[in-house]
């Protein structure tokens, strides 16, 4: 018997949640954007009315204003989005105990065996769609299939407020004509490599010999071949096994470009502190540190490193992120923006191997010190206690990374460009 997997995606989550709090904006072109003043004024999410005008996620606000002069821009309220994420999962849990978050606004559900599934899960999907709309006031698009990959594709096919079923009988007709970039985990670099083989659609990927793909892409070639042919058997995690937050990152485009390592280290310090504070706030430690950055020509780079042991200490995150940047960038071109992130999260009390070469006593003192700093900032504000390095530059050192530059990239399988 085939599994019955659903993928539910809250349509334009950030923008539609904001319209709930400001109902006078319903039916108007609205985008949730970063701050223009802080030089990270890009679109994060848009209503369907804005999208019809050509507004796209990731565009600069000035570009969107040219397409849609009447566009209404709002600043993000992440606490609201987390709340709606939790409320939607409570509804999903009425139908199955296998609910796996995939970002704040998406989730996989395994409803196999639920008597309402009726073979392809469309009945449950339709009921969930109606409940989300009635109880939460937002809409979802839901894909249903016999594996997670096709379920995700199904939820992307019809937006907003729709249910799409992809079955063993129709997946060649529905899935194979789609651009290969629509397949989960096919990013820009992978898409470029596939285009060199003449592969532009999912169907062409599916009918290419596996050994050819493996030669070009390594193990990922086998994975994508399996996905394109519907062979994915990845299970949906039990509710509670998978955290809503899969990784935590903070990034910023500072008021001026970073021209040397000292500039970058000031920003890395503040971002590392912010990431570490959020780790402790949620009771996590991180096993991987990564950075991504753009130069002044908007070229994008990303690096990561697995740690010897999980951490929630900002100085350890800073040391790792600094070394990643030092190894990969020489500042022949200034940097415009940078992000520090952590992934491979685990509960902070998870046992780990202590190194005989590390100063464990000093590490414990650092942890206690940072917890005390967290408390001071909660009581008296972010700027009540600051690192000395932030005073080296009055422009760069005045960024409130904790309050103003927060994001939650939470995919459970992320391809890093190198």
Active site residues: 106
Please give, one letter per residue, the 3-state secondary structure of 215-251: HHHCHHHHHHHHHHCCCCCCCCCCCCCCCCCCCEEEE
Provide the CA 55 distance to its chain's centre, in angstroms. Answer: 20
Q: Look up residue 96 and give its DSSP letter.
A: -
Q: Which residues pair with 405 in a beta bridge?
A: none
Question: Tokens 């659609």 appear where?
Answer: 201
Residues, the chain, total? 418
> Using an 8 Å Cβ cutoff, are 411 and 245 in contact?
no
> Using an 8 Å Cβ cutoff, are 34 and 74 in contact?
no
Token pair in block for residue 225: 């071949």
Q: Look up residue 201 and give its DSSP letter.
A: B
Q: How far apart are CA 304 and CA 409, in angstroms?
A: 14
Going along 253-388, which residue ranges are E strands? 284-295, 300-311, 335-347
The arrangement of strands across the sheet holding 106-110 comes to: 99-101, 106-110, 5-10, 140-145, 162-165
For residue 212, CA distances in Å to 66, 206, 224, 229, 257 come to 45, 12, 12, 15, 43
Q: How far apart are CA 92 and CA 151, in angstroms?
A: 15
Q: How far apart are CA 293 and CA 140, in angstroms?
A: 32
For residue 21, CA distances in Å to 72, 103, 311, 344 come to 14, 22, 38, 34
Q: How far apart are CA 253 and CA 221, in angstroms?
A: 35
Nearest to residue 49, comparing CAs of 70, 33, 28?
28
Q: How far apart are CA 101 and CA 98, in angstroms?
A: 10
């Amino acid at each position: 018997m085939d599994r019955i997997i659903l993928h539910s995606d809250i349509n334009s989550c950030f923008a539609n949640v904001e319209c709930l709090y400001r109902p006078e904006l319903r039916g108007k072109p609205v985008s949730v954007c970063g701050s223009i003043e802080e030089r990270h004024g890009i679109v994060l999410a848009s209503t369907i009315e804005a999208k019809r005008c050509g507004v796209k996620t990731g565009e600069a606000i000035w570009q969107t204003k040219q397409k849609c002069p009447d566009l209404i821009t709002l600043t993000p309220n992440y606490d609201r989005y987390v709340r709606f994420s939790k409320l939607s999962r409570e509804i999903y849990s009425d139908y199955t105990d296998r609910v796996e978050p995939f970002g704040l606004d998406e989730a996989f559900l395994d409803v196999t065996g639920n008597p309402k599934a009726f073979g392809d899960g469309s009945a449950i999907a339709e009921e969930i769609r109606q409940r989300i709309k009635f109880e939460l006031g937002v809409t979802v698009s839901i894909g249903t299939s016999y594996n997670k990959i096709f379920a995700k594709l199904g939820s992307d096919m019809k937006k907003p407020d729709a249910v799409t079923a992809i079955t063993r009988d129709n997946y060649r007709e529905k899935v194979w004509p789609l651009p290969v970039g629509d397949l989960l985990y096919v990013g820009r670099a992978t898409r470029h490599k596939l285009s060199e083989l003449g592969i532009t659609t999912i169907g062409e990927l599916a009918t290419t010999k596996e050994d050819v793909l493996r030669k070009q892409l390594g193990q990922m070639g086998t994975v994508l071949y399996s996905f394109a042919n519907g062979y994915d058997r990845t299970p949906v995690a039990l509710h509670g096994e998978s955290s809503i937050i899969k990784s935590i990152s903070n990034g910023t485009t500072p008021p001026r470009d970073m021209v040397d390592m000292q500039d970058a280290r000031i920003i890395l310090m503040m971002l590392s502190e912010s990431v570490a504070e959020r780790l402790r706030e949620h009771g996590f430690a991180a096993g991987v540190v990564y950075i991504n950055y753009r130069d002044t020509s908007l070229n994008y780079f990303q690096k990561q490193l697995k740690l010897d042991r999980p951490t929630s200490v900002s100085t350890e995150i800073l040391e790792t992120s600094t070394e990643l940047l030092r190894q990969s960038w020489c500042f022949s071109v200034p940097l415009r923006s940078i992000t520090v992130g952590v992934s491979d999260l685990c509960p902070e009390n998870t046992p780990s191997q202590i190194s005989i070469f590390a100063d464990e006593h000093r590490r414990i003192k650092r942890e206690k010190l940072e917890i005390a700093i967290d408390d001071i900032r909660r009581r008296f504000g972010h700027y009540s206690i600051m690192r000395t390095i932030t005073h080296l530059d009055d422009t760069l050192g005045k960024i409130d990374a904790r309050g103003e530059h927060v994001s939650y990239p939470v995919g459970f399988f992320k391809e890093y460009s190198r």
